[in-house]
Amino acid sequence: MAIFPGSFDPITNGHLDIVGRSLRVFDDVRVAILVNPDKRPLFSVEERVAIIREAYRGNRRVAVDTFSGLLVDYAEAVGASVIVRGIRAISDFEFEFQMALMNRRLNPRIETVFMMPAESYSYLSSRLVKEVFQLGGKVTGLVPPVVERRLREKYGAASRAIEAPPARPRRIR
What residues line the site for ligand PNS (CB under 6 A)?
Answer: 5-7, 34, 70-71, 99, 102-103
Residues 63 and 53: their CA atoms lie apart, in Å, by 8
Least Å distance, CB 134 to ligand PNS, is 19
Confirm whether 39 is a catalytic residue.
yes
Task: With CA atoms as reference, report the closest residue to 33 among 12, 57, 10.
Answer: 10
Which one, 73 or 159, has the nearer CB to ligand PNS? 73
Confirm whether 7 is a catalytic residue.
no
Confirm whether 88 is a catalytic residue.
yes
Looking at 21, 22, 126, 150, which residue is catalytic? 126
Q: What is the 3-state secondary structure (H, E, C) of 74-117?
A: HHHHCCCCEEEEECCCHHHHHHHHHHHHHHHHHCCCCEEEEECC
Confirm whether 154 is a catalytic residue.
no
Looking at 15, 21, 48, 150, which residue is catalytic? 15
- The 3-state DSSP class for residue 29 equals strand
**Residues designated catalytic:** 15, 39, 88, 126
